[in-house]
């Protein structure tokens, strides 16, 4: 298993490093995928997506290639491979 990219959802720096595939920063995790408020305001764009873009590298990461963390533990413990706190 390859190393997952860790994203701390409460850390502003981490949040701004990652964008939706269209380059927006106002994405949120939901039900094992992501949703973007900016994309939702564009009629022709689907606001739900399965990849995040790392602004440092430009690379897209699938949902199961990232670990989303909150102060209580992993956001999706079944995807992240361990239980939450």
Q: Which residue range(s) make up the domain with 45?
A: 5-66
Residue 85 has pLDDT above 60, yes or no: no
Cβ contact 20:14 at 8 Å:
no
Q: Is residue 76 part of a domain?
A: no
Q: Is residue 80 part of a domain?
A: no
Per-residue pLDDT reduced to its tens digit, 42-67: 999 999 999 999 999 999 999 989 99
- Total domains in the chain come to 1
Residue 81 has pLDDT above 70, yes or no: no
Q: Is residue 74 part of a domain?
A: no
pTM: 0.80
Q: Is residue 83 part of a domain?
A: no
Q: Is residue 84 part of a domain?
A: no
Q: Is residue 39 part of a domain?
A: yes
Q: Is residue 54 part of a domain?
A: yes
């Amino acid at each position: 298993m390859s190393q997952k990219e860790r994203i701390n959802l409460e850390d502003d720096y981490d949040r701004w490093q990652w964008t939706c595939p269209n380059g927006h920063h106002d994405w949120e995790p939901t039900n094992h995928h992501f949703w973007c408020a900016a994309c939702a305001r564009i009629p022709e764009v689907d606001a739900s997506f399965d990849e995040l873009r790392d602004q440092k590298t430009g690379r897209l990461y699938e949902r199961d290639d990232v670990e989303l963390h909150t102060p209580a533990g992993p956001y999706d413990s079944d995807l992240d491979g361990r239980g939450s706190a």
